[in-house]
């Protein structure tokens, strides 16, 4: 599978995403894979609804901070740390359906969903076709 290029600099600009949407909240660093961003852009075009990114790249320190604050985080290295994951804000059930279906068509088939977001990732070290629900 083509993963794209990990630049470690800045997200390649796309029609609907700005690089700062993927910055780590604590250090403002971004190390996203271009191939993942390209698939998100394709999904956005298919869904025809806005994708508001609430979490993109996360450094190791921020992952530890989330765990310390009681958030459920991935075991081992998070797909967010690898630059191949994003959380997308969900405003209503209709948009949730459109976004999930569009992500699948775009080739992103690892998703977790909660009441107000969908987590999407392309982690090659984890089950590639998996869906889960975050409990409140």
Q: What is the pLDDT of residues 18-47, one digit of tens each?
A: 888 999 999 998 899 989 999 999 999 999
Reply yes or no on whether the pLDDT at 1 is more than 70.
Answer: no
C-alpha 18/C-alpha 14 separation (Å) is 7
The percentage of residues in the chain with a pLDDT greater than 90, rounded to a whole number, is 71
- Tokens describing residue 83: 């630059």
Q: How confident is the model at residue 13 (pLDDT cuts 50, 70, 90)?
A: low
C-alpha 35/C-alpha 14 separation (Å) is 12
Q: How confident is the model at residue 4 (pLDDT cuts 50, 70, 90)?
A: very low
Q: How confident is the model at residue 136 (pLDDT cuts 50, 70, 90)?
A: low
Averaged pLDDT score across all residues of the chain: 88
Reply yes or no on whether the pLDDT at 61 is more than 50.
Answer: yes
- The 10s digit of each residue's pLDDT in 65-75 is 998 998 877 77
C-alpha 130/C-alpha 109 separation (Å) is 7
19-133 maps to which CATH number? 3.30.1380.10
Determine the average pLDDT of the residues in 77-97. Answer: 95
pLDDT at 73: 78
Reply yes or no on whether the pLDDT at 76 is more than 50.
Answer: yes
pTM: 0.87
Listed in sequence order, the residues at least 6 apart from 9 whose beta carbon sits closer than 8 Å to its beta carbon are none
């Amino acid at each position: 599978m083509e993963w794209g290029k990990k630049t470690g600099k800045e997200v390649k600009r796309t029609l609907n995403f700005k690089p700062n949407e993927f910055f780590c909240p604590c250090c403002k660093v971004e190390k996203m894979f271009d191939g993942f961003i390209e698939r998100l852009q394709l999904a956005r075009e298919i869904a025809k609804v806005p994708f508001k990114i609430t979490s993109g790249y996360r450094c190791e320190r921020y992952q530890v901070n989330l765990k310390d604050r009681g958030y459920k985080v991935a075991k081992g290295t998070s797909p967010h740390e690898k630059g191949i994951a994003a959380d997308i804000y969900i405003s209503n059930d209709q948009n949730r359906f459109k976004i999930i279906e569009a992500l699948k068509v775009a080739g992103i088939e690892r998703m977790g969903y909660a009441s107000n977001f969908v987590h999407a990732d392309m982690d090659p070290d984890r089950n590639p076709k998996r869906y889960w629900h975050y409990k409140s």
